[in-house]
Amino acid sequence: MINSAPKLSDKEYEENFKELTPPFTKNGAVAEANRCLYCYDSPCKTACPTHIDIPGFIKKIATGNLKGSAKTILESNWIALTCAKACPVEDLCEGACVYNDKDEKPIEIGRLQRYAIDNYFASGMPKLFNSKDKNGKSVGIIGSGPAGLACGAELALLGYDVQIYEGSKIPGGLSTWGIAPYKVRQEDSLKEVELVKSLGVKIKTGIRIGESISIDELLTTYDAVFIGIGLGESSKLNIPGENLEGIVGALSFIENVKKEKWNSVNVGKRVAIIGAGNTAIDAATEAKRLGAEKVNIIYRRSEDEMPANKFEFRLAKDDGIIFHFLTSPTEFFGNHKVEKINCIKMRLGEKDKSGRRKPVAIKNSEFFIETDMVIFALGQQANLDFLNSIPDLKISNGCVIIDEKTYQTNNPKVFAGGDCINGGKETVNAAYDGKQAAHGIDNYLSNKK
Amino acid sequence: MVDLSINCGGIKSPNPFWLASAPPSNSAYQNCKAFEQGWGGTVWKTIGEPVMNVCNRYGSIDYNGEKIIGLNNIELISDRPIEVNLKEIAETKKLWSDRAVIVSLMVESKKEAWHDIVKRTVDTGADGIELNYGCPHGMSERGMGAAVGQVPEYCQMITEWVTEVSTIPVLVKLTPNVTNIRYPARAAKAANASGLSLINTINSIMGIDLDTMKIQPSVGGLSSHGGFAGPAVKPIALHLLSQVTSDPEINLPISGIGGISNWRDALEFILLGADSVQICTAVMHYGFRIIDDLIEGMTNWMEEKGYSSLNEIKGKAIPQIADFGNFNLLHKTVARIDQSKCIHCNLCYVACEDGAHQCIDLIPVNGHNKTQVREEDCVGCRLCAIVCPVEGCISMVRLDDAVSTKTWNELMKDFKRENKPLTWKNLAEFQKEHGIVIH
Ligand SMILES: Cc1cc2nc3c(=O)[nH]c(=O)nc-3n(C[C@H](O)[C@H](O)[C@H](O)COP(=O)(O)OP(=O)(O)OC[C@H]3O[C@@H](n4cnc5c(N)ncnc54)[C@H](O)[C@@H]3O)c2cc1C
Ligand SMILES: Cc1cc2nc3c(=O)[nH]c(=O)nc-3n(C[C@H](O)[C@H](O)[C@H](O)COP(=O)(O)O)c2cc1C
């Protein structure tokens, strides 16, 4: 057993994991909706990867046409609740809002979207779209994350029989198992799953393709297959001591937190996170909110190169997370369990392939950081073993290669989207990919005689 | 299934939303674009006499950060040659057989001129004619527009010239710049109009720039009263509509206009008896695309309420329109403040104390002031409920027995029967008898 942080009271846990942004009241939503200028050909719509008609759905909140508002949103994006609550809006729609150019507060687009979608779910998901008649064709989908769900929903409307296979017992992908609970709860993610099911999409959980069912079986059973398997666990560094107790990957740690049984998650008194992307920040803030007393983020480059966005960085700072920039771990020490990390100071050298300046170790600058737990958050790795087992797939840098328009892979029967083609972006990208891929599949199967 | 289709005086359209005769309906390009996006009909920008427009045609009122709550214009009728307009009207109608194309007309007050333009309009294949008796500026100086609409006799005479030759429905568009809109409306009816459109714009001066002291809009240093439209005129339009639809002498199909920005506004016009609605300012502000929410919002509302056609709701609110003398004097309400919702802005207190009847108390509790209505003194004016920024915090609670009634008219009859003159003393007696307190 690691040296664990003391458990908190249920009330403290709930307070720590409560929603960052509370929902709008009716008055608040209408007032904010009326503040929207209802721009034409608006920058927010362009900035949204799924191109939701944002002024359109907001106008409908203003007039009280909430059902129409939800329809406008869902027409472009099936994963509308997760996106409303977890999209990095300041980098997307809200960042593009014209009010920014007037030096005024941008419209709270994410929160308004949530208002419309919450209402839609609360009113019992009334039918919004008419499906085409069944065309007798079927598509198998691997993975029930945002990409798989969006693809399935769209295909169902287009008249296909859709079967999703999900390895996990609970569907929803990282909306269910990854995104910080103070943004999205499992119940939110499961509402989206229910919506997709209501369109006729079937989901089998607890079935991992490549284990209980082979990929070949899938390819013979279905007219086309969509891969939306996302990515796997964070990579490690391959330095000595990595197998000590108390050293875990970010995804498994976060998955544990996402069970929402806070006091059964073991977190060290002192925690060190390796990496400084959004996942690293999530792991850090979640560790802190579980009661860790000291949380260090260790990152080999400087603040400027840090992949985490501003919002997440602020959040971590507010939570009292300590950042060690230009610092790289070289070895973990401990007696069975991790006790300290040997680190070395770095400086920035020449630019590397990614265009960022490459960190270079500074001689004789080594020092220790004491810790009870280490969480690796260095970027998720692709499920290469599985991907390589799919005939004719082309893979580069861990990403499945697809045609940008059709989302078709090198195997004409196989399409892919989401994190497994982009190496890990946002939910909204996966939602867009899935929907587009559905049309790619429809084109492919309609033209194939 | 909800069916939004309507028939307004013989003019049919798949939904009640028409472009009002104004800049958005100026050309075939615009009208066709509007139809593509779903508009049910259009009233073509008024055609007729040769005119020239000036620059700086519009003025507007912004209110607390909200742009264009009212728009005024000193624009004339179409400044494009009549031949061009007629040709485009015919082309548009040919392309859009299921939509309503109505042509707004205005020529000089000569029988031959009206006969001529009516015949040429009918030849385009248009579905109807609208007579513009409303233009409040420019055209009225030349004896047209409001100069006709304000004189019921002219209104009747010219409408007769039109209806005697027209083979298609004729709507008469009324000006609000009159003391009683029922007179021109009745005149139109007498001249066999198929229906009425109302309102046109209201005489207005939008404001003066305090730095330059220029009236807006300013045409090279001069200005004039222009026609006022947009959200701010809706209450006036609704009133004039109710005047017309509650007059049993008139009883004509109506196209409602004035300050309609969304489906809710449109429904209010229909509830007061309109068959179709026309929209101008909202389109000038946001474009034809507003039709999406107009249709969808109205459809969803109808579905939710269980209606399938607009006829089921048309005029449903009219029976409430009554004379003051028929209101129940014993109807008694008082304001009640829901303390759990109160945010302690105390706006109700100051409104009541300075602006009404001094019946809310401020009682210090735990560092803030609690507002409390002295119900025995509350006259039930409703001002506090109106100023309260919190939804559902102040409500008007009914206290009378909901059975007894006594209207002013009844009371005056009683007084007459009892040989009591109308004096403050006699009124006080009645009030005392019914526990009515006056402040
Ligand atoms: C910790 C963390 C926090 C994040 N926070 C945010 C955020 O705040 N905002 C945001 O926009 N994005 C966030 N993201 C990113 C976002 O969650 C992903 O981009 C998105 O979920 C990708 O969707 P996907 O469908 O491609 O993959 P996933 O969501 O990963 O779903 C893939 C699914 O496929 C299943 N699967 C895999 N292999 C198999 C197989 N062989 N057989 C059957 N099923 C299989 C998996 O179990 C999983 O359910 C976060 C990601 C992480 C890791
Ligand atoms: C710029 C402008 C020009 C107008 N021109 C005409 C016209 O040529 N003929 C006409 O009948 N009404 C005209 N109107 C009046 C409109 O048709 C309509 O009656 C009025 O604007 C009220 O509707 P709204 O509040 O939706 O704008 C005009 C209005 C505006 C704002």
Cis peptide upstream of residue B217 (ω within 30 degrees of 0): yes
The DSSP output letter for A207 is: -
- Number of the ligand closest to the Cα of B68: 2
Question: How far apart, in whole angstroms, are the C-alpha atoms of residue A400 and residue A397?
Answer: 8
Residue appearing with tokens 């007798």: A136
Predicted confidence (pLDDT) at residue B65 exceeds the cutoff of 90: no
Domains located in chain A, CATH noted: 10-122 (1.10.1060.10), 138-231+381-445 (3.50.50.60), 247-376 (3.50.50.60)
Question: How much of chain A, in percent, has pLDDT values that exceed 70?
Answer: 100
pLDDT of res. B378: 94
Confidence of residue B6 (pLDDT cuts 50, 70, 90): very high
Each residue's pLDDT tens digit, B209-266: 999 999 999 999 999 889 999 999 999 999 999 999 999 999 999 999 999 999 999 9
Give chain B's length: 439
Which of A104, A97, A32 minimizes the C-alpha distance to A69? Answer: A32
Rounded mean pLDDT, A12-41:
96
Each residue's pLDDT tens digit, A52-103: 999 999 999 999 999 999 999 999 999 999 999 999 999 999 999 999 999 9
Rounded mean pLDDT, A328-334:
97
pLDDT of res. B142: 83
From A125's Cα to the closest Cα of chain B, the distance in A is: 14
Which of A262, A296, A265 minimizes the C-alpha distance to A374? Answer: A296
Q: Give burial (CB, 10 Å; 0-12/13-18/19+) of A106.
A: buried
CB A424 within 8 A of CB A392: no
Q: Which CATH number fits domain B6-318: 3.40.50.80, 3.40.50.261, 3.20.20.70, 3.30.70.260?
A: 3.20.20.70
Each residue's pLDDT tens digit, A98-146: 999 999 999 999 999 999 999 999 999 999 999 999 999 999 999 999 9
- Number of the ligand closest to the Cα of B69: 2
- Contact flag A68-B66 (C-beta cutoff 8 Å): no
Confidence of residue A352 (pLDDT cuts 50, 70, 90): confident
Confidence of residue B367 (pLDDT cuts 50, 70, 90): confident
Respond yes or no: is residue B135 known to be catalytic. Answer: yes
CA distances from A413 to A140, A152, A214, B354, B394 (A): 11, 16, 16, 77, 64
pLDDT of res. B437: 79
Question: How far apart, in whole angstroms, are the C-alpha atoms of residue B160 and residue B157?
Answer: 5
Q: Which two tokens stand for residue A374?
A: 């280490």
CB B68 within 8 A of CB B282: no
Which of B93, B106, B88 minimizes the C-alpha distance to B173? Answer: B106
Q: How many CA atoms lie within 13 A of A175 on its CB side?
A: 33
- Contact flag B297-A40 (C-beta cutoff 8 Å): no
Question: A290-307: b or e for each residue (b if 16 or more CB lie within 10 Å)?
Answer: bbbebbbbbbbbbeebbb
From B223's Cα to the closest Cα of chain A, the distance in A is: 30
Who's near B388: CB < 8 A, 6+ residues apart? B347, B348, B394
Question: How far apart, in whole angstroms, are the C-alpha atoms of residue A247 and residue B334?
Answer: 68
Rounded mean pLDDT, B392-402:
94
- For chain B, domain boundaries: 6-318, 322-439
pLDDT of res. A353: 84
Question: How far apart, in whole angstroms, are the C-alpha atoms of residue A426 and residue A432?
Answer: 10
DSSP B121-135: HHHTT-SEEEEE---
Domain covering B322-439: architecture: 2-Layer Sandwich (3.30)
Q: Which of B8, B55, B135, B384 is catalytic?
A: B135
Question: How much of chain A, in percent, has pLDDT values that exceed 90?
Answer: 97
CB A274 within 8 A of CB A375: yes
CB A196 within 8 A of CB A385: no
Distance from residue A420's CA to the centre of ligand 1 (Å): 9
Q: In terms of pLDDT, which residue wins out, B157 or B141?
A: B157
Question: How far apart, in whole angstroms, are the C-alpha atoms of residue B66 and residue A63?
Answer: 15
Q: Using alpha carbons only, give the angle A328, A330, A333 rounded to the nearest 5 degrees.
A: 125
Ramachandran angles phi, psi of A312, nearest 5°: -65, -40
Most informative mutation of B21, B58, B285 for ligand 2 (most atoms within 8 A of CB): B21
The DSSP output letter for B139 is: T
Predicted confidence (pLDDT) at residue B143 exceeds the cutoff of 90: no
Most informative mutation of A87, A174, A282 for ligand 1 (most atoms within 8 A of CB): A174
Each residue's pLDDT tens digit, A175-206: 999 999 999 999 999 999 999 999 999 999 99
CB A332 within 8 A of CB A242: yes
Question: How far apart, in whole angstroms, are the C-alpha atoms of residue A407 and residue A339?
Answer: 47
Read off the pTM. 0.94
Nearest CA in chain B to A38: B286
CB A29 within 8 A of CB A61: yes
- Contact flag B287-A40 (C-beta cutoff 8 Å): yes
Confidence of residue B140 (pLDDT cuts 50, 70, 90): confident
Q: How many CA atoms lie within 13 A of A185 on its CB side?
A: 11
